[in-house]
């Protein structure tokens, strides 16, 4: 690729990243003209791998609770965002632990479903649990 083409792609990438930033975030990276440098600056600022950040993120899945009135899809999306944040810090949660954490986040309204899902099971898979929760919500709406 020519230098001109590479510069255009870098310029477009920087513009795209800047469009997604809040005003207070934008000021710290205004002078960065290279997408890689811009991204690195944002990553260093917002995704630090400090011990405090790691502790806070590791606590999140345990504190996470279903909020009455939101859709199960939104709840699952929020839960997956927490898992993604942990993954960004090189903390991987096992599939069976994801399922148990998700079950833990549900309100008493889902107690009967939790009992049914766990009855005579050695292990429950996160994917199966997610699908069951969404399907249960659809059935309730009908």
pTM flag (> 0.75): no
Number of H helices, E strands in the chain: 8, 0
- Residue 65 burial (10 A CB sphere; 0-12, 13-18, 19+): exposed
Over residues 24-78, the pLDDT tens digits come to 766 666 667 777 787 787 777 766 667 777 888 889 999 999 998 899 999 999 9
Q: What is the 3-state secondary structure (H, E, C) of 1-32?
A: CCHHHHHHHHHHHHHHHHHCCCHHHHHHHCCC
Is the Cα torsion angle 8, 13, 16, 22 positive or negative in sign?
A: negative
């Amino acid at each position: 690729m020519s230098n001109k083409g590479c510069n255009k792609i870098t310029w477009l990438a920087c513009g795209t990243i800047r469009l997604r930033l809040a005003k207070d975030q934008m000021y710290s990276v205004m002078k960065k003209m290279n997408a890689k440098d811009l991204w690195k600056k944002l990553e260093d600022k917002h995704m630090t791998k400090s011990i405090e950040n790691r502790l806070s993120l590791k606590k999140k899945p345990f504190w996470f609770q279903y909020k009455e009135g939101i859709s199960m899809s939104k709840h699952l999306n929020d839960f997956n965002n927490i898992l993604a944040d942990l993954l960004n810090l090189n903390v991987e949660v096992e599939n069976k632990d994801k399922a148990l954490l998700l079950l833990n986040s549900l309100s008493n309204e889902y107690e009967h479903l939790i009992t049914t899902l766990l009855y005579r099971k050695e292990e429950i898979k996160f994917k199966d649990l997610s699908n069951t929760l969404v399907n249960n919500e659809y059935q309730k709406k009908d």
